[in-house]
Amino acid sequence: MRTQVAIIGAGPAGLLLSHLLAERGVASVVVEVRSRAYVEKRVRAGVLEQGTVDTLVAAGVGERLIREGLPHRGIELRYGGAGHRIAFEDLVPGREITVYGQQEVVKDLIAARLAAGGDVRFDVGEVTVHGADSDAPHLVVDGERIDCDFIAGCDGFHGVSRASFPDGMITEYERVYPFSWLGVLAEVAPSADELIYARTGRGFALHSMRSPTVSRFYLQVPSGDRVEEWPDERIWAELKARLETVPGFTLATGPVFEKSITPLRGYVAEPMRHGRLFLAGDAAHIVPPTGAKGLNLAVADVRVLTAAIADWYATGATGGLDAYSATCLERVWRAQHFSWWMTTLLHTFDEDPYAQRLQLSHLDYVTSSRAAATTLAENYVGLPYGDEA
């Protein structure tokens, strides 16, 4: 068969790319090795930048997001026995974040693509990339050849897309942190109206939420810890020890129905393009979740790629395609720095007392200086897009 754009991966990047291309009159096929049930239930990030929300709403897939998402106009930094609110409405007027699970975004996009007659194929077997450096790129999916003009690799860090680049072409940059995050979903109403980022001598903790009845928590844990080592009782005891550090705050508890451990690291692959093959989202970059940038970076990549491909079909211009990698990487590295900054600001490291005092001094500066707080706020809610889409 033939299509215009072959997309590998039915996560938020691949599905949104297919949807945005269809709005521009560009046909695509999305292939995914996992089942629809798996990708719709896979728990990932839940903080959407202002620009991400605006993109989804403008694309006609934000109805449920607007109805069920939880807008937040600030976050709390908790340390030293006190809470300090970073007020988005004051520091970056008109911009906020919305808490809405990534799996919910995926459900909305799948429903929209299928309702529009989009070609989304789940449970495929082997996928291989061919001819990326030619004018006739194609995929082979379970023995079937799919000819196309462009291939979009939206298949995550372990997918086939980045591995299809020629040996030695990609320069990899990586920072591995000496701890992991234990993530927990619990059937309990949130104990606060906004996210709480807590720095303690016991380690970092994050209080978040997914809905008025479901809360999301994270704990900094040693690298190598296993989920089996963290029974519910231990999780709640540690969350209470790290979050109940200000007068009058009590953490509500409830049944835990999902938990997992994720190592923290930052990763960037350069370039993000090889011929007619373009990487987007986790296939090209990973950020520690402290800055809440993973899904949002994928959306930013897709906006740039959509505009570049649509321009090529409309005018034959190659400027957007040629600039794709550099354009995306500018935002990627800004997000890498912000995520690193938030991680080093709030986590406990095995460092000398001098480094610990520096960390506390930096926290004092961020929570007392309007200029420093504004830097955090404008990066957290997401820097404005250009006019690419």
Rounded Cα distance between 284 and 272, Å, is 6
Beta bridge partners of 204: 199
Token pair recorded at residue 23: 């709005």
φ/ψ of 43, rounded to 5, equals -80, 125
Q: In what order do the strands lie in the sheet with 171-186?
A: 82-87, 74-79, 196-200, 203-211, 214-222, 171-186, 256-270, 285-286
Rounded Cα distance between 183 and 326, Å, is 33
Q: Using alpha carbons, select from 292, 176, 182 the residue that is nearest to residue 242.
A: 182
Q: Torsion angle of alpha carbons 169, 7, 54, 85, nearest 10°?
A: -50
Q: Torsion angle of alpha carbons 242, 246, 249, 251, nearest 10°?
A: 0
CA-CA distances (angstroms) from residue 224 to 10, 177, 261, 262? 30, 12, 9, 10
Number of Cβ within a 10 Å radius of residue 116: 12
Q: Are 283 and 222 in contact (CB under 8 A)?
A: no
Q: Report the catalytic residues.
A: 72, 197, 289, 293, 380
Q: Using alpha carbons, select from 237, 238, 185 the residue that is nearest to residue 216.
A: 185
Number of Cβ within a 10 Å radius of residue 157: 14
Tokens 């370039």, residue located: 271
Question: Rounded to a whole number, what is the largest CA-CA distance in the chain?
Answer: 65
Rounded Cα distance between 363 and 380, Å, is 16
Burial of 13 (C-beta count, 10 Å sphere; 0-12/13-18/19+): buried
Token pair recorded at residue 321: 């395609």
